[in-house]
């Protein structure tokens, strides 16, 4: 999960499976890509196993960004996730990068609404070149809520909207990452709430610079079967977020997922993007929780 663009911790408010339409079936059946858009160079040398780890800014709002960067650098993390434009360059002082920018649109109002396409395309057209110039390679974006819309209609609308931005994203080598969120607990009525639907969007757009942000917490709630799903859909995934189920707290033994196995699976698939920790720490010292999560995902 990422944060809503309207505030640092306000994005958890707003999420039927994909309809059996002929269009959806056709899109889901298209060919696999030949390139992995998650690949990107790193400015520092990772010392924590095979995964490039990051941390989401909003989960540590009690710390200044410089304090978080300093602590994360000490843990050999490579990036800070979900930063606004004013903060994109701050991680560079600590030999890190902004792993993903806060994007445009909001969780409930996204690309499934044609009446919002002009607004979203204008915002994206302004942000993408700036992100590229700042060395930010990924931007989060959203489907929006259903609002009575069928999944087949929402699928076509989302493809249409993202297709308008894909050429600019390709030109600047910035990847737009459609986030998968749960509609059971945190984001009632959100449309991109299953991997299958998200993959259909990415296949329909047919650009190496439009991919999925696979939030492990959200997809465990919606689907389970996380390891098999990641294996089946890795070509379409450019970024991961972690979080314990239930509650989106620590990814240790207090929750139901075996994150060591999940991390091992991602690493074995030679994923080159970021695995970003996006859980809300309950420990007295939140940085202890982050340090433990880094160790769990060191494989």
Rounded to an integer, the average pLDDT of 1-14 is: 36
Is 163 a residue whose pLDDT tops 80? Answer: yes
Which one has a higher pLDDT value, 51 or 29? Answer: 51
Among the residue ranges 41-45, 87-91, 237-241, the one predicted with the least confidence is 41-45
Domain covering 42-296 assigned CATH 3.40.50.1220 in the classification = no
What is the rounded average pLDDT of the residues 92-99?
Answer: 98
- The mean predicted confidence, pLDDT, of the chain is 88
Select from 206, 297, 227, 218 the least CA-distant residue to 269: 227
Number of C-alpha atoms within 13 angstroms, CB side, residue 104? Answer: 19
**Whole-angstrom Cα distance, residue 198 to residue 116?**
19
Task: Please tell me which residue, 39 or 128, carries the higher pLDDT value.
Answer: 128
pLDDT of residue 19: 38
The pLDDT value recorded for residue 275 is 98
DSSP string spanning 195-211?
A: HHHHHHHHHHHT-TTEE
- pLDDT bin (cut points 50, 70, 90) of residue 61 is very high
Q: Note the pLDDT tens digit of each residue in 188-212.
A: 999 999 999 999 999 999 999 999 9
Percent of the chain at pLDDT above 70? 84
Looking at the chain, the whole-number percentage of residues with pLDDT higher than 90 is: 84
What was the pLDDT predicted at 266? 98
State the pLDDT at residue 48: 61
126: which 2 tokens?
């302004």
| Residue spans per domain, the chain | 42-296
Q: What share of the chain is helix, strand, coil (3-state, %, to 5)?
A: 40, 15, 45
Confidence tier at 47 by pLDDT (50, 70, 90): low
pLDDT band at residue 234 under the 50/70/90 scheme: very high
pLDDT at residue 100 is higher than 50: yes
DSSP conformation class of 283: S
Q: Which residue has the tokens 């009446």?
A: 115
DSSP 149-184: --HHHHHHHHHHHHHHHHHHHHHHT-EEEEEP--TT
Confidence of residue 80 (pLDDT cuts 50, 70, 90): very high
In whole angstroms, what is the distance from residue 210 CA to residue 173 CA?
A: 10
Q: Buried b / exposed e across 42-62, counting CB within 10 Å, b at 16+? A: eeeeeebebbbbbbbbbbbee
């Amino acid at each position: 999960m990422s944060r809503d663009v309207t505030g640092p911790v306000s994005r958890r408010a707003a999420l039927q499976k994909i309809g059996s339409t002929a269009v959806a079936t056709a899109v889901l059946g298209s060919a696999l890509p030949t390139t992995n858009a998650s690949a990107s160079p790193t400015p520092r040398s990772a010392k924590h196993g095979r995964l490039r780890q990051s941390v989401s800014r909003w989960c540590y709002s009690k710390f200044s960004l410089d304090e978080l960067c300093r602590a994360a650098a000490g843990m050999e993390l490579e990036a800070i996730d979900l930063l606004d434009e004013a903060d994109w360059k701050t991680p560079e002082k600590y030999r890190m990068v902004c792993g993903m920018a806060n994007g445009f649109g909001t969780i409930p109002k996204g690309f499934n609404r044609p009446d919002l396409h002009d607004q979203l395309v204008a915002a994206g057209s302004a942000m993408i070149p700036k992100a590229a110039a700042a060395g930010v390679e990924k931007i989060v974006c959203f489907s929006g809520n259903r609002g009575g819309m069928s999944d087949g209609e929402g699928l076509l609308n989302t493809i249409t909207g993202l297709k308008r931005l894909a050429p600019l994203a390709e030109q600047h080598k910035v990847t737009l990452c459609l986030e998968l969120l749960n509609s059971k607990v945190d984001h009632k009525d959100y449309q991109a709430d299953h991997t299958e639907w998200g993959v259909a969007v990415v296949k329909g757009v047919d650009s190496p610079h439009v991919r999925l942000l696979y939030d492990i917490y959200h997809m465990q709630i919606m689907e389970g079967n996380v390891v098999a799903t990641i294996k089946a859909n890795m070509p379409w995934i450019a970024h991961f977020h972690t979080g314990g189920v239930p509650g989106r707290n620590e990814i240790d033994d207090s929750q139901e997922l075996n994150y060591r196995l999940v991390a091992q699976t991602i690493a074995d698939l030679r994923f080159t993007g970021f695995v970003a920790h996006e859980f809300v720490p309950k420990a007295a010292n939140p940085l202890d929780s982050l340090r433990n999560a880094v160790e769990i995902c060191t494989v």
